[in-house]
Structure 1
Amino acid sequence: MPSREAKKPADAAKRFSPRPVLRPRQQVEEQITQAILSGEFAQGEKLPPESQLADLFEVSRPTVHLALEALAESGLIRKVPGTSGGSFVNSVTHEGLSTQLSESLATTLRLGTLHLGELTAVREILEIPSASLAATHHRTHQLDILHSVLDKQRHTDTSDPEVPALDRQFHSTIAEASGNRFLAALVTSVHSTSQPVSFLRLSEDVGRETVRQHTAILRAVEKGDSAAASEEMAKHLEFVKHNSFTDSGERGSAC
């Protein structure tokens, strides 16, 4: 018995260590986060009302409200107003991730802490590899979408308001065809936020050449030629860069 009791302090020292005491709001955030990440709350499930959470955590309702606001800003939950609303666990999909990234990037641009040129320069880093991967990972339905987009682009005037959406759909679908959903989310968010067509000096000649280049990218992807797909995407992005202007009228730095 004496020998066993002598071991207890050493065992306890391995299990316990000093930890900073969390503020009430931090405790609420941490426990709700853990409950969501551990699966105790399913995607799309509604959290208990603020008043009930305040009772459970033994904190004030404003404390719970601030904690939920922080979780909403982080994208873990969404807050729906109205009598039938409340706080719901976000459904985490790559499409949802793309939306969250786009919103965050748009806010960063508005605040001026990130320049558009920095954002659009990333397109080469993301889209050239995505075209290469699309050549070996594409699915039939993705090729069908790309052909449909190209057909609309061929018959759409450059002044048509649908031009930016068609361009975004083409590049997003190429990225989705890469088979990497995270890469697809990044490409879509950057393209949606930077809106390169809005900086493109769109003439009939530029419009026709853009469609021709999109067609060349698609042909390389269909053939499964990764090298050609990369090369054609690189040519296209360089063409877009050369024929683009910033809002100050400078060539080439918009995209």
Structure 2
Amino acid sequence: MNDQAPESHPAEQQAAPAPGGVTRHIADSIRARILAGGLKSDERLPTEDELAETFGVSRPTIREALKRLAAQHLIRSKRGPGGGVFVNRPSLEQTRESVVGMMALLSSMGSFSLVDIAEVRHDLGMVCLRYAIQRRSNDDLAAMESQLLLQEDASLSDTEFCAADVGFHRAIAGAAGNSVMSFVMQVLLDALMPPANMVVFKFRDREKIAAYHRRILLAVHARNPRAGEEAFTELMDYLRARYAEAQDWRRRRDGDERAG
């Protein structure tokens, strides 16, 4: 087949007006088979020619569909003898990075308000903290302490302080001892905390943040759920107030820019 001048297929012509087109339809069909277990991890997919015949499209269209699946870490290519396209098993890190990227993009576009972010952080973070207080190890305490010591360094830049802030709460998530909770919390923290922090940093007191974190760490160390919940609630109440200030400031600024 001449790839430079691919033939036109009825399926491609009919699907072109639809959102995403036939390429998306093919990718979604293969993805659904993978998620349903019809295609197992490390199983080789049919060849491009076979897929093209199955879907009634050209090979370039199949390649575009496979690129979509590769971008989702659902398939991988292998060259040479015994090569081909195989079903991939995405690692937790790959999946986390993919979800974090999409959530961070939505956040940057204003899809999530700072107040909503604080509310979700409070509710999920409280559950995570309760687990951490029960299950934390000495290594978990050391990880939290290292991030807190960074925050208490007055010479730290705002960007570095934000990173240490995220790192502290990531350490709590890791101490929870629940892989699902840790995954969800780390996605939330990595996706939504950095942009929120960089908006609110003008309105918060770094020493107060570090002091709240110190109280949380002491409660986790002592396995004291009441003290931990009190400190965490006060921290989130403080942040909600700062987020509200930041959003009011941003609305006034945007209004002045439009008026100008």
Deviation at 1:142, TM superposition (A): 1.4
Where do 1:51-200 residues align within 5 Å?
53-57=47-51, 58=53, 59=55, 60-72=58-70, 75-77=72-74, 89-93=88-92, 95-157=93-155, 159-194=157-192, 195=194, 196-200=196-200
Which has the higher mean CA deviation after the structures are superposed, 206-215 or 153-162?
Answer: 153-162
Deviation at 1:132, TM superposition (A): 1.2
Distance 1:30 1:116, change over 3 A: same
Specify the structure having the higher radius of gyration (Cα): 1
Name the SS for the 1:161 alignment partner: helix
Letter paired with 1:172: R
The C-alpha deviation readout for 1:67-125, integer Å capped at 9, x for no partner, is 3244346x342679xxxxx88725331x3333222112123234554444433421111
- Contact 1:135 1:224 survives alignment (8 Å): yes
- Contact 1:124 1:234 survives alignment (8 Å): yes
Counterpart CA distance in 2 for 1:230 and 1:153 is 21
Distance 1:236 1:35, change over 3 A: closer
Q: Which residue matches 2:218?
A: 219
In the alignment of these two chains, the number of paired residues is: 219
Counterpart CA distance in 1 for 2:35 and 2:23 is 19
The C-alpha deviation readout for 1:103-155, integer Å capped at 9, x for no partner, is 12123234554444433421111111111111002122111111111122222
Q: Which residue matches 2:13?
A: none
- Contact 1:129 1:230 survives alignment (8 Å): no
- Contact 1:109 1:116 survives alignment (8 Å): no
* Larger helix percent: 2
Where do 1:200-215 residues align within 5 Å?
200-201=200-201, 206-215=205-214
RMSD over aligned Cα, in angstroms? 3.7
TM-score by length of 1: 0.69
Q: Which residue matches 2:82?
A: none
Which has the higher mean CA deviation after the structures are superposed, 107-116 or 124-133?
Answer: 107-116
The C-alpha deviation readout for 1:24-56, integer Å capped at 9, x for no partner, is 9756654565457647434xx9x66xxx72223
Counterpart CA distance in 1 for 2:165 and 2:153 is 14
For structure 1, the 5+ residue unaligned runs are 1-22, 81-85
Counterpart CA distance in 2 for 1:236 and 1:212 is 9
Distance 1:157 1:79, change over 3 A: farther
Counterpart CA distance in 2 for 1:218 and 1:31 is 47
Letter paired with 1:68: L
Distance 1:143 1:71, change over 3 A: same
Counterpart CA distance in 2 for 1:99 and 1:183 is 16
Deviation at 1:241, TM superposition (A): 2.0
Counterpart CA distance in 2 for 1:193 and 1:105 is 6
- Contact 1:128 1:230 survives alignment (8 Å): yes
Q: Which residue matches 1:16?
A: none
